[in-house]
Amino acid sequence: MNKNYCIIGTGVAAVNAAKAIRDLDQESSILLIGAETSLPYNRIKLSKELFSDLGSEKVLIKKEKWYQTQNIQTLLHTKIEHIDSDNHTLHTSTGETIQYDKLLICTGAKNRKLLIDGADKKGVFTIREMHEAEDFKVFIEDKTSIVNIGGGIQGLETAWSIFKAGKKVTIVEAAPRLMARQLDDKTSALLKNKIEEAGVDVHVNTSIKQIMDGDEVEGIVLGDQTISCDSVIYSIGVVPNIDLTENTPIHTGKGIIVNERMETNIKDVYAAGDVIELNGEVEGLWGPAMDQGKVAGKNMVSVAESYQKTTPFTVFNAFNLSLFSIGFIDESRCDTTIIEEDGAEKYTRVFIKDNKMVGVISLGDMLASIPYKTAIESGVSLDGINLNDSSIKDLMSEVKGRLTTPA
Ligand SMILES: Cc1cc2nc3c(=O)[nH]c(=O)nc-3n(C[C@H](O)[C@H](O)[C@H](O)COP(=O)(O)OP(=O)(O)OC[C@H]3O[C@@H](n4cnc5c(N)ncnc54)[C@H](O)[C@@H]3O)c2cc1C
């Protein structure tokens, strides 16, 4: 029997769900409803490629033709205001009512708000959606000096884009180090040096107190000093977009609570992507959102599949530094680590827990990451290897041998 599949949101989770549904069911109708005006696009490019042509087709996840050939309808620039799960209907901002048989909520996340004096001033920006990136670019066109708050990967990539556009940039991070989720003290300090060498001021362990008064941004107050600037951009974390579940029986915590099959507590209502909370965790990352979308789509068509969390994998290429971070890198919860370095720009650290390799941080390009990723994901046992007296090269060669030799 033909069904009406409705998906709220037009991000990567939504597109992958729609594709999974269509691959399994060629007859039913699929409708993607999104508040933004663009077809689903690669949101990551809003920081990495901020000054490129964001309106270009290259930024889209799938070109317009794909939706036509797949017979997937899109309703853009339309916000869903309410879900009536008893009657299987959605109510749009334009007053329409849409009936669904199976519903997927992929409303993503919004950027955490900066809650300090002056944060609502003209010239203060945060980028989550395309129009925010475009507004920021227009605003800073004739400006020279920008403060970038947030030393996570998204903040640093934004800072790098602004710096490459010829602006003076100052980075402010409240935590003691940059990219604290992906790097150890050593690599974080090295990254900070590289950024400073490029001519960017970096303040860590310091919170911004205030954005200075005036009609527009004039500067910021940081501890006991002031820094003048023309604009402030911030990226200080995300919060799942769960507003739509208010006045519905859908269970939420930090996000919409789902099981491994992306089912909510309400029959025929699923959720995937940055909006979900699974096993108490909100992942908020591109790869997981994509995988969760696929899993949701399959389950909506009654093909049982469970979401498997993948190994976190971050690649960073900016400020003349390439590095990668894979897996679990919390040294306080590991049994041991092996470090190889040359005191300059060569540094690799392998993290070991329960006799398995669980994480790696390394300065180097992405290609070098592949054997480490394989070793971590295989969960191969390091039993019998003297970890106190092994170089990373020896360890990797032993792991490779164990992976190719059948047990
Ligand atoms: C600048 C930037 C850089 C990033 N860099 C990285 C990175 O390097 N690596 C990484 O892993 N992740 C990165 N991310 C995070 C990544 O983009 C997200 O994890 C991913 O986009 C989540 O996809 P999603 O489909 O769940 O939701 P989203 O992409 O957030 O899409 C949700 C969509 O739903 C729409 N919506 C919300 N409410 C409604 C409603 N009521 N009605 C209709 N539509 C609605 C929103 O407008 C939005 O278009 C970055 C994010 C940003 C903003």
Dist CA 168 CA 248 (whole Å): 47
Question: Into how many domains does the chain fold?
Answer: 3
Q: Is 284 in the pocket of ligand 1 (CB under 6 A)?
A: yes
| Helix, strand or coil, per DSSP, at residue 17 | helix
- Amino acid in position 346: K
Whether 162 and 243 map to the same domain: the answer is no
Residues 378 and 351 in one domain: yes
Domain termination residue (choose one: 277, 300, 323): 300
What's the CATH code of the domain at 286? 3.50.50.60
Q: Based on the fold, state whether residues 379 and 289 are members of the same structural domain.
A: no
Same structural domain for residues 10 and 101? yes
> Same domain for 134 and 227?
yes
CA 225 / ligand 1 centre spacing (Å): 35
My answer on whether 376 and 338 are in the same domain is yes
Q: Could you tell me if 181 and 224 lie in one domain?
A: yes
Residue 64 domain flag: yes
Atom of ligand 1 nearest to the CA of 287: 11
Per-residue pLDDT of the chain (407 residues; tens, 9 = 90+): 799 999 999 999 999 999 999 999 999 999 999 999 999 999 999 999 999 999 999 999 999 999 999 999 999 999 999 999 999 999 999 999 999 999 999 999 999 999 999 999 999 999 999 999 999 999 999 999 999 999 999 999 999 999 999 999 999 999 999 999 999 999 999 999 999 999 999 999 998 999 987 788 999 999 889 999 999 999 999 999 999 999 999 999 999 999 999 999 999 999 999 999 999 999 999 999 999 999 999 999 999 999 999 999 999 999 989 999 999 999 999 999 999 998 777 899 999 999 999 999 999 777 889 999 999 999 999 999 988 888 999 999 999 999 887 65
Q: Is 116 domain-assigned?
A: no
Residues 271 and 361 both lie in one domain: no
**Beta strands 4-8 and 29-33, pairing class:** parallel
Q: What does DSSP assign to residue 106?
A: -
Beta bridge partners of 170: 147, 201
Q: Does 147 lie in the same domain as 106?
A: no
Q: Is residue 56 part of a domain?
A: yes
Domain presence at residue 191: yes
Contact assessment for residue 106 and residue 275, using Cβ atoms and an 8 Å cutoff: yes
Q: Is residue 229 part of a domain?
A: yes
Q: Tell me which of 192, 213, 234 is where a domain ends.
A: 234
Asked, for residue 228, whether it belongs to a domain, the answer is yes
Ligand 1 within 6 A of 244 CB?
A: yes
* CATH code of the domain in which 336 resides: 3.30.390.30
Say yes or no: 247 and 100 in one domain. yes
- 243 and 229 in a common domain: no
Distance between Cα 271 and ligand 1 center (Å): 14
Residue 257 Cα distances to 85, 262, 356, angstroms:
16, 9, 31
Whether 95 is in a domain gets the answer: yes
Domain that holds residue 36: 4-110+239-300
The pick from 44, 45, 310 for probing ligand 1's pocket by mutation, whose C-beta has the most ligand atoms within 8 angstroms, reads 44
